[in-house]
């Protein structure tokens, strides 16, 4: 009996040591902090299981205006690499001390091509009152720009994380997927020709410029029921433009979709994916939205 107990104890100790070793190895993975989901996705694709990606924005918050707490900032400051989007996205990063040697502004390479917007101050749910800074910040919705951001991130990873392997091969595969999305977006633009699209929020400026889309933007809060005044404004814009497609950031209610249909509008959900989707990933989510846009033109 004593011998069995001894054997069991030895096995248990060995199992505990293996668990501890596995935990230590997981903790030793280099960490990359990102300010939005596209960059988190790019980092995950580039590093595979060799890195840990820090992106902890709650699912119901907009990463562009979310402010991390003290513990989250401490973790970000300790990361081996901090990937910024640039173009005024996540302006909390300019108000917190971050190690400059570990920062990479992934859109710096095309900063001369940022799109200026009209400055607007308003409130969006839990994010509170904030101001659109006068620069369109959803840069990745031009998929060529997204590829440039992925390239910049890969270059920084190779410099800061020399132990991470296969970055170039992973970048090649990621760029192939982004090229596919770019082609789908171009196909959607051809299918829609010069038709006006109405978007529920001004997120799609870079898509409009890159693919020649005519997008008239409202300023509705995602997930909230539009007011009668907002519906009246939409009706007026439909009359003025002859628009037939309404882009939603997130899935509308059945009632909202039906009311839009009464105005002659086909609803298409096109999430900009600043935050992590509940299902799928960046490529599958964008592919689904672009294919839906192509389908409404048939």
Report the distance separating Cα 128 and Cα 254, nearest Å.
27
Report the distance separating Cα 64 and Cα 77, nearest Å.
19
Report the distance separating Cα 117 and Cα 92, nearest Å.
20
Place of tokens 């020709």: 193
Report the distance separating Cα 177 and Cα 170, nearest Å.
11
pTM (2 d.p.):
0.87
For 30-49, write each residue's pLDDT tens digit: 999 999 999 999 999 999 99
- Residue 267 is predicted with a pLDDT of 96
Average per-residue pLDDT in the chain?
89
Q: What are phi and psi of 221, to 5 degrees?
A: -80, 130
CA distances from 159 to 14, 147, 167, 268, 279 (A): 38, 19, 11, 41, 32
For 164-205, write each residue's pLDDT tens digit: 999 999 999 999 999 999 999 999 999 998 789 999 999 999
């Amino acid at each position: 009996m004593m011998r069995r107990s001894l054997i069991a104890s030895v096995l248990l100790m060995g199992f505990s040591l293996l668990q501890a070793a596995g935990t230590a190895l997981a903790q030793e993975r280099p960490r990359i902090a990102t300010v939005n989901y596209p960059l988190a996705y790019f980092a995950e694709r580039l590093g595979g299981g060799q890195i840990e990606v820090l992106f902890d924005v709650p699912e119901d918050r907009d990463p562009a205006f979310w402010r991390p707490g003290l513990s989250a900032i401490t973790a970000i400051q300790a990361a081996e690499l901090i990937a910024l989007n640039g173009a005024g996205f996540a302006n909390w990063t300019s108000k917190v001390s971050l190690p400059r040697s570990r920062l990479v502004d992934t859109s710096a390479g095309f900063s001369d091509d940022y799109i200026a917007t009209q400055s607007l101050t308003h409130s969006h749910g839990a994010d509170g009152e904030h101001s659109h800074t006068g620069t369109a910040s959803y840069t990745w919705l031009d998929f060529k720009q997204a590829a440039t951001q992925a390239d910049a991130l890969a270059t920084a990873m190779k410099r800061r994380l020399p132990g991470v392997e296969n970055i170039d091969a992973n970048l090649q595969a990621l760029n192939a997927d982004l090229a596919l999305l770019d082609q789908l977006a171009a196909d959607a633009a051809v299918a829609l020709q010069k038709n006006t699209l109405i978007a529920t929020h001004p997120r799609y400026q870079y898509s409009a410029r890159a693919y020649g889309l005519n997008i008239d933007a409202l300023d509705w809060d995602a997930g909230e029921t539009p007011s009668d005044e907002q519906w009246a404004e939409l009706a007026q814009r439909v009359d003025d433009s002859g628009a037939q497609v309404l882009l939603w950031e997130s899935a509308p209610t059945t009632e909202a979709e039906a009311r839009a249909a009464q105005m002659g509008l086909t609803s298409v959900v096109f999430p900009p994916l600043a935050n992590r989707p509940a299902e799928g990933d960046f490529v599958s989510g964008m592919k689904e939205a672009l294919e839906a846009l192509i389908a409404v033109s048939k």
